[in-house]
Amino acid sequence: MYPFIAWVIFAPNQTNLNYMKFFIDTANLDQIREANALGVLDGVTTNPSLMAKEGITGKDNVMKHYKAICDIVVEGDVSAEVIATDYEGMVSEGLELAELHPNIVVKIPMIVDGIKALKYFSDKGIRTNCTLVFSAGQALLAAKAGASYVSPFIGRLDDVSTDGLDLIEQIRVIYDNYGFDTEILAASVRHPMHIIKCAEIGADVMTGPLSAMLALAKHPLTDIGLAQFLADHKKASANG
DSSP run (H or E) holding 201:
helix 192-201
Q: Shortest gap between Cβ of 86 and ligand E4P (angstroms)?
A: 21
Nearer to ligand E4P, 103 or 188 (CB): 188
Min dist CB 125 to ligand E4P, Å, is 22
Cα distance between residue 144 and residue 174, in whole Å:
12
Does position 93 bind ligand E4P by CB under 6 A?
Answer: no
E-strand ranges in 60-119 read 77-81, 104-109
| List 53, 59, 64, 107, catalytic entry | 107
Closest CA to 101 of 65, 147, 70, 61: 70
Give Cα separations from 23 to 31, 122, 155, 220 (angstroms). Answer: 12, 22, 15, 26
Site string for ligand E4P, 44-83 (x = CB under 6 A): -x-x------------------------------------
Q: Burial of 48 by CB count in 10 Å (0-12 exposed, 13-18 middle, 19+ buried)? A: middle
Least Cβ distance, residue 188 to ligand E4P (angstroms): 3
131 binds ligand E4P per the rule CB under 6 A: yes
Residue of the chain from 151, 165, 172, 180 that contacts ligand E4P (CB under 6 A): 151
Q: Which of 113, 156, 191, 199 binds ligand E4P (CB under 6 A)?
A: 156
Report the residue number, 214 or 227, with the smaller CB distance to ligand E4P: 214
Beta pairing, strands 77-81 & 183-186: unpaired
Spatial neighbors of 89 by CB under 8 A, at least 6 apart, are 82, 83
Q: Judged by CB, which is closer to ligand E4P: 26, or 234?
A: 26
State whether residue 81 is helix, strand or coil.
strand
Determine, following the binding rule CB under 6 A, whether residue 138 of this chain makes contact with ligand E4P. no
Per the annotation, the verdict on 107 as an active-site residue is: yes
Residues 178-237 that bind ligand E4P (CB under 6 A): 187-188, 207
Q: How far is the CB of 189 from ligand E4P (least distance, A)?
A: 7
Of 155, 148, 222, 225, the closest CA to residue 185 belongs to 148
Residues taking part in catalysis: 107
Binding residues (CB under 6 A) for ligand E4P: these are 25, 45, 47, 131, 151, 153, 155-156, 187-188, 207
